[in-house]
Each structure stands twice: as C-alpha cells, then as structure tokens.
Chain A
C-alpha cells in the first residue's frame, strides 16, 4: 500500500469533518452568500489548471489547458466578487448607501 496515498486520504477524511463542522450553525440568511463563497473556494481547481497548462505542448494539451484556466479563473474571480457584493449589502443603512455610491 502506497503510504503517500494513505496520507492524502487522511487529509480528505479530516477535511470532510471540518467542512461539516465549520458551517453547522449558519443562519438561513447567510445560506446564499455561504454557497457563493464556497463556490469561489472550489475555484482552487485553477491550481490544477495551471499545473496542466504550464507545460502544455501538444495541441490537445494547449486547448484543454487554456479552456480549463479560463473556466477556473471565471469561477474564482466571479465567485469572490459576487459574494463580496452580496455581503456588502448586509450592513447598517448608512454603510449600505456608501457601498452603493462606490459602484
């Protein structure tokens, strides 16, 4: 049995528990922002896309790598920006107005 594989699997299992635990007490009003925020976090696939694209040489690799980087970046950037916009509105009346003026 490959030791490194077991180590990776350990991370996986521990992350499962942390993922359940960390949001267990979220109020309903935050469901949408939380979904959007966690949506941005799985954009970490950009790391994988870069690993693939960086050393691309064959045409297939170039195309796949390029599309993967575009999609993953869209996921990361769009995810974080839209979550921030949503949460900017969750403040007192005055700061809400400031947030609108910024736009």
Chain B
C-alpha cells in the first residue's frame, strides 16, 4: 500500500467516525450521513485510481456493470420505498453487504485452495465467509418476515436449538479443518452453504416484534465480516470501517433490546417462542364482551375533553393514517384541547420508526413526547387515543409475570380516564399476547380501518 493510499484511507476513516458521531445527535444527523458518504466516495474512488494499472478487460467490464446495476437497485429501492417499509429495506441492504463480504473472502480463499493456509489470512477469511453468509441469509429471512412473505410469528419445531447448535458445531469443525489441514474448494463452498443454512434457521424462530433487534445484530455481524475480510486483504479501510460498525452496531443492538425491556439472549434463543407455546392455548378464543362506540360518540367525547394523549402504533402506519391523525389533532387543537403524542421507544417496527412516520406527516416536533416524559401525565388525561398500537400499552407487561412481554416498559394508557382504541378487531398484537385492557370497562373500541375512523372522528369534532 502506498503512502497516498494509506492517507486517503485514514481520511475516509476519520470521516466515518465523524459521520457516526454526527448521526447520534438529531441536529447534525443528516450532515453526519453526508460526511460518511463523502468518506465512502473517497475510499472507493481512490481504490479505483490505485487499481488503474491492474484492471483486466473483464475486470473493467464487471466493475462498471456491477456499480451501475448495484447503484440503480440501491437508488430505486431507497427512493420508492414507503417509510413504513424502512426496517425491511435496511435488512435487505445489510444482507447485500454481508453477502459481498462473504464472496470477497471466499474468492481470496479459492486462490489458495489445497494448500496449507497461513493463519493470518486463513482465519479472517474463514470467519468472513461464515459470518457474512449468516448475515446474508439471516437478513433475507428478516426481510421476508417484515414484508409478510413468511409469517412474522416465531417458526419453531422440536429440537430447534439442538439443530442450530449442531449446525454451529459443524461450521466450527469445518472451519478448523480448513485452517489446520488443507483447503479444498469444495470445503470452502460447503462452509458458505452451511453458513447460509444457519442464517436461515437462526432467524426463523425469532418473533416478528424482535426482528428489528436481530437486524441490528446482523448489521453488527456484517461489520465484523467486513473487518475480517480487511485482515485477509490487508486493507486498513475495511478493518477500520467494518470494526466501527461492528462495535457501534453491537452497542445499538443492546440499546434496542433494552428499549424492548428484554435481554438479547432471550430474544435470540427462543424464550419468547417457548413461553408463547405454554400460554398460547387460551389465546385467540377470548370471547369476553368489549365495549364498542360509534364515531359520533367518541368524536364528541374528544371534542369536549381537556387533554388527549395520542398513542400511535404500527397499525396507524399500515393504514397510512398519519395524515388523517394529524388533521384530527389539528381540529382538536383549534378547539383548545391539549393534544400530545406518546411515543413508545419501539412504536412502529423499530426504535425511532414512529418519529420518522409522524415527521413525514408534519406533526410538530414539540408534540411528540417520549415515554418517560409522558407516562406521569396519563393520570390527568381525559382520553388516551390508541391508534393501531397494542403490545406497547398492554398492562400484562406490568402485571403478569408469566406473560412473554412481562418486563417491557409500557405506556400507562390504563391510567387515563378513558382509553379509546381504534382497531380492526380484538386480535392480539404483533407479540401475539392478549390485551386485557381491551376488556376494561373504561375502554371504548372504535372498530374499523384506522384512517377511515380518524377521518370520521375529525368530521364529528369539527361539527361539535
């Protein structure tokens, strides 16, 4: 590596660090993203300049075509996507990175087949193939779950943990064989294949509500796989950037699982699925009576309330009701009703996702209140209006230690004078847990599509 290359890579690394730094504060976040992008252009651009002498004809063609095709997929995917689909798109882009890391390391290994591998090349390459493969396949499954291509509920079968454990052991044994003995091509390809299988079986049993945490974990893993290929290629830029993502991604994963109130171990190793199986018998057949109300009744109640706290959830996003919700809040505000939004840390499908969706609908920033800030105010609220949220307001998280969501911090909707739910049915939420609050005498349910209900409520409030 020439001095110039080292210096450019150093500059890129500095820009990545600054970018991450800026990304963690709301004011500078957008600039942070751009700074990191400039770092990327520098690193990639200089690499092309550095390689100018060594391009083969095929090399030029595949590099150009690859960049054009990948760029088009990236731009179209990122621009056309609906904001509700952000989590699965991140999963997809992450999977692409993991796949690339695995392929780069695999190509490196294939150059050295049937020889005894030097440890400092062999170990990181084998690591990158395995981890990159797991990240690629796992991300695709996470995407499929969030996109509802496969069921979001945990997919479990007897002996699942054992199968996953054995797969992990086989991968370790194969990796050891490749490193200690010789490295035939079939062994290297087999390693990638096994890693892909493990990626699938590892993510399948994880519940849909936990998928974002898993995406964050896979993001960190991809970072580490990239760092490992950096060791194999002796490339400072890959090591630096990959490790940064690996470390910050791990921390972010922990922050996210804390926001869900559950340990990472529980999320990953199927405790969720097991508890569900034991309590699942009673779920779904609940026939207790609920109190439902008409849009007229509820609209009038809202119009004459002093304070209303709105609790938006993913159902709102699915119904594309953000704008209708803002209009309702606007007409309430004009009547002098005090309106605020209670944002649960994991409202939507990912921490911070709901803030993105409401910002898209131009909801004023000051009205968005985080959980710790607003929870004490529910006692004084006349109405808590829950739009398409369920698990994050389920008192079972506080009261029933046997529940799978026990321990998760929730919004104190049960303390408001009246709780109004806009829901399509009394079906349990994403976590698959029955919500007793729906059957509380102080709860009124307005059945129907969230967007239509909100529009009708706004009309009633205007007329009141």
CA distance A49 to B105 in the complex (A): 9
Q: Are A68 and B74 in contact (CB under 8 A)?
A: no
- Give the chain A neighbours of B223 by CB distance below 8 A: 38, 41-42
CA distance A96 to B94 in the complex (A): 27
Q: Are B74 and A78 in contact (CB under 8 A)?
A: yes
A17 to chain B, nearest CB (A): 7
- Give the chain A neighbours of B47 by CB distance below 8 A: 47, 50-51
Q: Are A72 and B251 in contact (CB under 8 A)?
A: no
Closest A residue by C-beta to B81: A82
Within 8 A of B (CB), among A20-34: 20, 22-34
Within 8 A of A (CB), among B62-112: 62-63, 65-67, 69-71, 73-75, 77-79, 81, 83, 86-87, 89-90, 92-94, 96-97, 99-101, 103-104, 106-108, 110
Q: Are A71 and B70 in contact (CB under 8 A)?
A: yes
A55 to chain B, nearest CB (A): 5
Tally of B interface residues using CB under 8 Å:
112
Q: Are A54 and B77 in contact (CB under 8 A)?
A: no
- Give the chain B neighbours of A8 by CB distance below 8 A: 230-231, 234, 236, 239
Instruction: State which of B36, B43, B233 has its C-beta within 8 Å of the C-beta of A80.
Output: B36
- Give the chain A neighbours of B251 by CB distance below 8 A: 19-20, 23-24
Which of B37, B77, B222 has the most chain A CB within a 10 Å cutoff? B37
Using an 8 Å CB-CB cutoff, how does the interface string of B43-57 with A read, 1 for contact, 0 for none? 110011001001110
- Give the chain A neighbours of B65 by CB distance below 8 A: 66
Using an 8 Å CB-CB cutoff, how does the interface string of B313-349 with A read, 1 for contact, 0 for none? 0000000000000000000000000000001010000
Using an 8 Å CB-CB cutoff, how does the interface string of A74-91 with B read, 1 for contact, 0 for none? 111111111111111111
Instruction: State which of A4, A18, A75, A87 has its C-beta within 8 Å of the C-beta of B96.
Output: A75
Q: Are A66 and B244 in contact (CB under 8 A)?
A: no
Q: Are A55 and B236 in contact (CB under 8 A)?
A: no
Q: Are B56 and A86 in contact (CB under 8 A)?
A: no
Q: Are A18 and B62 in contact (CB under 8 A)?
A: no
Q: Are A2 and B120 in contact (CB under 8 A)?
A: yes
Within 8 A of A (CB), among B260-310: none
B138 to chain A, nearest CB (A): 14
Within 8 A of A (CB), among B218-241: 219, 222-223, 226-227, 229-231, 233-241
Instruction: State which of B106, B234, B364 has its C-beta within 8 Å of the C-beta of A64.
Output: B106
B48 to chain A, nearest CB (A): 7
- Give the chain B neighbours of A5 by CB distance below 8 A: 120
- Asked whether any CB of chain A lies closer than 8 Å to the CB of B355, the reply is yes
Instruction: State which of B51, B54, B67, B249 has its C-beta within 8 Å of the C-beta of A69.
Output: B67
CA distance A57 to B43 in the complex (A): 24
Q: If the complex has contacts A51-B51, A93-B364, are A16 and B83 also in contact, measured as CB distance less than 8 A?
A: no
CA distance A72 to B19 in the complex (A): 19
CA distance A12 to B59 in the complex (A): 30
Q: Are B23 and A30 in contact (CB under 8 A)?
A: yes
Q: Are A84 and B30 in contact (CB under 8 A)?
A: yes
A-B contact pairs, 30 of them (CB 8 A): A15-B244, A19-B247, A22-B17, A23-B20, A28-B351, A29-B352, A30-B29, A31-B259, A34-B252, A37-B29, A38-B20, A40-B40, A41-B16, A42-B219, A43-B93, A45-B226, A47-B43, A48-B226, A49-B100, A50-B51, A52-B103, A56-B56, A56-B62, A64-B106, A74-B71, A79-B97, A80-B37, A80-B40, A82-B86, A82-B93
Name B residues whose Cβ lies closer than 8 Å to a Cβ of A: 12-13, 16-17, 19-21, 23-26, 29-30, 32-34, 36-37, 39-40, 43-44, 47-48, 51, 54-56, 58-59, 62-63, 65-67, 69-71, 73-75, 77-79, 81, 83, 86-87, 89-90, 92-94, 96-97, 99-101, 103-104, 106-108, 110, 120, 215-216, 219, 222-223, 226-227, 229-231, 233-252, 255-256, 259, 343, 345, 350-353, 355-356, 359-360, 362, 364-365, 370
